[in-house]
Amino acid sequence: MSQHSHGHEIKMYGEIKLYAGSGSPDLAQKIAEYLGQQLSPREIIQFPNENIFVKLNTSARGQDVYVIQTTASPVHYNLMELLIMIQTLRLDSAARITAVVPYLCYGRSDKKDQPRVPITGRLVTDMLEIAGADRYMTFDPHAGQLQGFFSIPGDVLTATHMITDHINEHLQPDMKDPVVVATDLGFAKKGRNYALDLDVPIAFIEKRRTGNDAKAEALTLIGDINGRDVIIVDDEVDTGSSTSQAVDVVQKNGARDIYLAFIHPIFSRNCAERLADLPIKHMVTTDTVPIPPEKMKLLEGRITVLSISSMLGEVIRRAHEGRSVGEMFNE
């Protein structure tokens, strides 16, 4: 064990080593820059038979390793790549491996809400542990109990405050009597955190799903938004159907300008086109999932993408030095 340069911290592991999967290369690069590091060289090849091959170009033996990989589209490729990278590092005798997964797939499959269905969120956490992850980091899972699926320790972070700070500073001064609208009752508690941070009231959309397809039916608005600016909040925007229904409902209830805030820009299928067509004045999101340039172009001038890289970089540094992460958030 070596004495750390701060003089009072004992370091348990070797140096920080950062490895990037191919799911979020730009984010990984920004984290590396924040930490004043290079990404460790590795080769990732997909053979003609679709098998994935990983090779580390330098040794990770005895090091404190962080694998940065988001698991959005292509979900199964990115997940397998992450698992194989973790196993490769384990076999190379890395001292500690942390899976840094800004967006963790299958987070919605967190309970049996009907007979004869899987709990895939639990399966994914089991796979990460079996592959050899010692710790994990992720942002804003759909359900908080996902933390309980892991037997290994981890840092579950939120980008909510980053988004509300941005809205407070750059957007709220121009808003008229703003009110936060949660897209469904399941998001009510998290929506309240937005409302508290922004110091505004909250309204809710009560939504009734029919069947298992991605289409849902937004029905009633609980709360008063007439003549007020509205900030629609959600944890992710996937196909855009919940968002377009929310916009529809708030318009019918007399909303003035409409804003949209969400953490994970999944943007499946033609979601970006749908958002571009909606009367949304401005959107605020993060880079937990990379947005392809052609989709960004559709939303140009109407979307702000805040980077989680410095927060993640700082959490990685603190995890490495054995310092509190909670202190970053005054907790």
CB neighbour list of residue 269: distance below 8 Å, 6 or more residues apart: 239
CA distances from 257 to 160, 178, 252, 281 (A): 21, 9, 13, 6
∠78-82-84 over CA atoms, to 5°?
115
Q: Give phi and psi for 166, each to the nearest 5.
A: -65, -45
Q: Which residue reads 């990379």 in tokens?
A: 290
- Cα(192)–Cα(206) distance, rounded to whole angstroms? 15
Residue 110: what pLDDT? 81
Query: pTM (2 decimals)?
Result: 0.92
Confidence tier at 2 by pLDDT (50, 70, 90): very low
pLDDT in tens, 81-124: 999 999 999 999 999 999 999 999 998 888 888 899 999 999 99
Q: Which residue reads 């229904």 in tokens?
A: 245
Q: Domain 2-158+309-329, CATH 3.90.228.20 — does that match?
A: no
φ/ψ region of 28 (left if φ > 0, alpha if ψ in -120 to 50, else beta) reads alpha
Question: What mean pLDDT, rounded, does the chain reach?
Answer: 93
- Asked whether the beta carbons of 78 and 111 are under 8 A apart, the reply is no
Residue 233 β-bridge partners: 182, 261
Task: Considering only residues 229 and 4, tell me which one the structure prediction assigns the higher pLDDT.
Answer: 229
CATH 3.40.50.2020 domain span(s) along the chain: 2-158+309-329, 160-306
Residue 39: what pLDDT? 98
Residue 208: what pLDDT? 73
- Asked whether the beta carbons of 84 and 52 are under 8 A apart, the reply is yes
- Asked whether the beta carbons of 253 and 221 are under 8 A apart, the reply is yes
The CATH code belonging to domain 160-306 is 3.40.50.2020
7 has a pLDDT exceeding 80: no
Residue 1: what pLDDT? 43
Residue 115: what pLDDT? 93
Task: Return the active site residues.
Answer: 207
207 has a pLDDT exceeding 80: no
Confidence tier at 138 by pLDDT (50, 70, 90): very high
